[in-house]
Amino acid sequence: MRTRKLGKLEVSALGLGCMGMSSAYGPAADKADMIKLMRFAHDRGVTLFDTAEAYGPFVNEELVGEALAPIRDKVVIATKFGFDIDLETGERRGGTNSRPEHIKAVAEASLKRLKTDCIDLFYQHRVDPAVPIEDVAGAVKDLIAAGKVKHFGLSEAGVGTIRKAHAVQPVAAVQSEYSLFWRGPEIELLPALEELGIGFVPFSPLGAGFLTGKIDENTAFDPTDFRNAVPRFSPEARKANFALVDAITVIAENKQSTPAQVALAWLLAQKPWIVPIPGTTKQHRLEENLGSADIELTPSDIVEIDAILAKFDVVGERLPEAALKMTGL
């Protein structure tokens, strides 16, 4: 697989989001199967694997650490800090916590779970309104100086926050939602990242699965699936939004590909420093996603997709109200 740069960090053009292997989309998948899947992904050229202390909490980091231990020197592991989680019990206390001493304690705990001596990319998961971003960047700068972290990232941060952090410690990557289903980053974020030389890592690049075409208004989610609480995934919204999938499916058929592959290829075509991280628990879906890296969308394809998007208004917010308040977009 071809590679791309997130700041100075070189990674595969597509990464693997690992959250759904342990949480958020229903019961955790089989551990042995997920270890096999991550190693298969690496065999297919994936070098960027994305996790966080909050996924579980803790269990996803442990899974990723075990899966990648035999190939640790060949992969890039990204993890995150910033939620208020008890480091002993894993209890979620609600809200954020990016106090410098907590960041450093999280880093030590993550290093142990990931079975490594250095975190390649350490993101602030959500901006903490109680802690100046300069202090956060300073704490990560200390960790980099100590050899415990290599690169600094931010997730769902606004442009002003990014600029302030970048002035203290260069930011390698910003992670936020971006897809055919949500194009908010195009307004201010992408121009700022291009100016600053920061890479962009879209999460939910397939609209939390909707852009695969396998979800419609009749789809029933597991009771523990976070999409049950997302306005965009109400049955009414799904019924209305499927018109977008129908339109992309026509383009996919002309390219002898799938809607998911077109959605990922479209992201890759936006900027050379964009690295999507689609997640999956199934090998055939992983292979499908990775196939998007070989799809070349022509300028006329992009114009056609842009025309479709210009006529389409997505129904429903991308996150519940409380979660939206924690983002900078």
Catalytic site residues? 55
Q: Hey, what are 166's tokens?
A: 């970048």
Give the separation between CA 30 and CA 34, rounded to whole angstroms: 6
For CA atoms 289, 57, 215, 190, the dihedral sign is negative
Residues 6+ apart with CB under 8 A from 138: 100, 168, 169
How many CB atoms sit inside 10 A of residue 97's CB?
19
Provide, for the chain, the percentages of residues in helix, strand and coil under a 3-state DSSP scheme, each rounded to the nearest 5.
45, 20, 35
Q: Nearest-CA neighbor of 17 among 179, 228, 140?
A: 179
Nearest Cα residue to 216 out of 182, 241, 249: 241
